[in-house]
Amino acid sequence: MATDPLREALSSLPDAVFADLLESEAAYRLILDVPGVDEEGLSVAATETALKIEAQRQKSVPEGFEYHTDTRSMVLEATIPMPPDANPADASAMLDRGVLTLDVPRGTGAGRSIPIEG
């Protein structure tokens, strides 16, 4: 099973962020809902010990309108500790219809920026 710091980090995400953690013998899979966020508003980086996720939903205001109330903003900055056996050097990320899937194989490696496929 996944290490406790990883589970604790996921449970401490804001209530508006839904996340799933899956685990196999070969990898960890983290699935985050980031509705309305596109690739330009998303950044994922890995260090040797954590995943850093930054997501921001870009909104446009139609001509002739102005904001009266803005309660749908989406800004997420989270650092998710990785288990000691995770290999961030070979991590992959995919964004599909507002769902970010991060696959982190088990093993050892150095940190890097993770390209997002979409």
Pairing of strands 27-33, 19-23: antiparallel
Give the span between the Cα atoms of 88 and 58, in whole angstroms. 28
Give me the mean pLDDT over the 48-75 stretch. 83
Q: Give the model's pLDDT for residue 10.
A: 75
pLDDT of 5 > 90? The answer is: no
Cα 116 to the chain's mean position, in Å?
A: 10
What is the DSSP code (8-state) at residue 90? G
Domain 4-59+72-117 = CATH 2.60.40.790: yes
DSSP annotation string for 5-63? HHHHHHHTS-TT--EEEEE-SSEEEEEEE-TT--GGGEEEEE-SSEEEEEEE------T
How many C-beta atoms surround the C-beta of residue 41 within 10 A?
A: 17
pLDDT tens column, 15-57: 667 888 899 999 999 999 998 899 999 999 988 778 889 999 8
What integer best gives the mean pLDDT of the chain? 83
Give me the mean pLDDT over the 3-13 stretch. 72
Higher pLDDT, 37 or 108: 37
